[in-house]
């Protein structure tokens, strides 16, 4: 129970630290989204290519943020939650943001959709869930 409470507090504190809505997504959320674009097959960008080239899709970030983002890209690439299909469906449905990742990396884009800023207001990422008895 304490672990769940601690995770909730961390989640709330992280939410308070997010940038304003029309700003680029926070580096941790952008990194996870980059990983999910590859992991979920939203484009044809494989995991190795994503890890090698993700800075091309992160032009709005500082060098330090891009460097810190790598761990979150890794996280998105390796996710395997019980609700992974839901997570992937949500990530891939954000077509203009998928294109903002795929275009600079030379990946397959969603036809007829212009790329848009991956921003805090519009980026939706479901939390991963695992089933099981945690008592």
* pLDDT surpassing 90 at residue 11: no
Q: Domain span at residue 84? A: 21-129
Of 92 and 15, more confident: 92
Q: Which residues is 119 bridged to in the sheet? A: 24
Domain tally for the chain? 1
Query: 59 pLDDT band (50/70/90 cuts)?
Result: confident
* Structural domain contains residue 99: yes
Q: What is the pLDDT of residue 46?
A: 97
Any idea which residue has 């890890």 for tokens? 51
* Structural domain contains residue 86: yes
Q: What percent of the chain has pLDDT over 90?
A: 78
Between the alpha carbon of residue 109 and those of residues 21, 44, 91, 98, 117, the distances in Å are: 25, 9, 14, 7, 15
Of 18 and 30, more confident: 30
What mean pLDDT is reported for the chain?
88
Say if residues 58 and 30 touch (Cβ distance below 8 Å): yes
Q: What is the pLDDT of residue 14?
A: 56
pLDDT, average across residues 103-113? 96
* Structural domain contains residue 112: yes
* pLDDT surpassing 80 at residue 125: yes
Q: What is the pLDDT of residue 60?
A: 87
**pTM, entire model:** 0.81
* Structural domain contains residue 77: yes
* Structural domain contains residue 101: yes
């Amino acid at each position: 129970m304490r672990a769940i409470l601690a995770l909730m507090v961390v989640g709330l504190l992280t939410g308070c630290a997010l940038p304003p809505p029309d700003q680029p997504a926070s580096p941790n959320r952008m990194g996870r989204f980059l990983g999910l674009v590859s992991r979920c097959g939203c484009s044809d960008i494989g995991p190795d290519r994503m890890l090698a080239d993700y800075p091309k899709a992160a032009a709005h970030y500082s060098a330090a943020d891009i460097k810190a983002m790598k761990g979150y890209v890794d996280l998105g690439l390796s996710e395997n939650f019980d609700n992974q299909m839901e997570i992937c469906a949500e990530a891939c449905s954000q077509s203009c943001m998928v294109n903002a990742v795929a275009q600079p990396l030379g990946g397959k884009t969603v036809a007829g959709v212009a790329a848009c800023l991956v921003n805090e207001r519009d980026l939706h990422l479901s939390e991963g869930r695992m089933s099981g008895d945690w008592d």
